[in-house]
Amino acid sequence: MSNDTGETVDVLAIGAHPDDVELACGGLLIKLARQGKRVAVLDLTRGEMGSRGDAGQREREALAAADVMGIHAREAADLPDSRLANTTEQQRAIIPFIRKYRPSVICALMAPDRHPDHSAAHALSREANYYSGLERIETGQPPYRAPRMYYFYPYAELAGAPPCVVDISDVFDTKMAALRAYQSQFHNPGYPGPATHISSKQFWEGIETRARYWGGRIGVEHGEPLYTDAPLPLATLPGL
């Protein structure tokens, strides 16, 4: 899957590794796609340092998950797994994707996070979006800066109470189906390869536990927390 049509999107979700966006905001992306929004995913790496599967298998799994989510495009930036760092060189590798898709909204990883790649991806995504708006950084494309960014956590919530929780109750089953596309990564009895933290039964069950916790915080069945670093415009008060 790629963006061969050259069309822009409404939302660009940027993860460090394939499966980050499904874990953290898969429900949101499924909802937006069903609402007719054009959604693209950019995986900064191909997850080639994962203990199970290889880059080819991870790519097939990521594209299968994209199909389940119903999104428009998915690409990889081919930055090195386990060596993400907020450098000029890595920012410049991301800018062409922002200028190609020209999203109204970017969803990116939140920091701090226990995985160093995730924290690096937070800074990289923010700063690449800023510099993407500068005319004098030349990529052969017009400059573009997404006007709004939201942030998500795949595993943990370390930054205090989120300002938003998305109600994903009606798409939670589809989110889990997208995650099951990652046959090499998550709980999958009989799959060859070493046991990992995320391949444990406890981790798989924890995905629903977290979704139910966040859903409970807003009075629904399943939710996904979302952070922002800019004020959210309100036309009325939620709760009225």
Taking CB under 5 A as the criterion, the residue among 17, 46, 100, 210 binding Zn ion is 17
Span of 9-17, 32-40, 82-90, 121-129 interacting with Zn ion by CB under 5 A: 9-17
Task: Write down the least CB distance from residue 185 to Zn ion, Å.
Answer: 10
Q: Which range touches Zn ion (CB under 5 A), out of 20-28, 128-136, 194-202, 210-218?
A: 20-28
The Cα 79–Cα 46 span in angstroms is 8
Q: Does 81 bind Zn ion (CB under 5 A)?
A: no
16 forms part of the interface with Zn ion (CB under 5 A): yes
Nearest-angstrom CA–CA distance, 118 and 121: 5
Q: What angle do helix axes 172-180 and 55-69 make, rounded to 10 degrees?
A: 160
Interface with Zn ion includes 58 (CB under 5 A)?
no
Q: Name the residue nearer to Zn ion (CB basis): 27 or 131.
A: 27
**Taking Cα atoms as reference points, which of 114, 132, 216 lies closest to residue 167?**
216
The distance in angstroms from the start CA to the end CA of the chain is 42
- Nearer to Zn ion by Cβ, of 20 and 224: the residue is 20
Minimum Å gap between C-beta 104 and Zn ion is: 25
Q: Kindly report whether the peptide bond that precedes residue 112 is cis, defined as omega within 30 degrees of 0.
A: yes
Please pick, from the candidates 10, 20, 61, 81, the single residue that binds Zn ion as defined by CB under 5 A. Answer: 20
Which is closer to Zn ion, CB of 97 or CB of 152?
A: 152
Contact 139, 95 (CB under 8 A): yes
Helix (H, G, I), strand (E, B) or coil at 84: coil
Chain residues that interact with Zn ion, rule: CB under 5 A:
16-17, 20
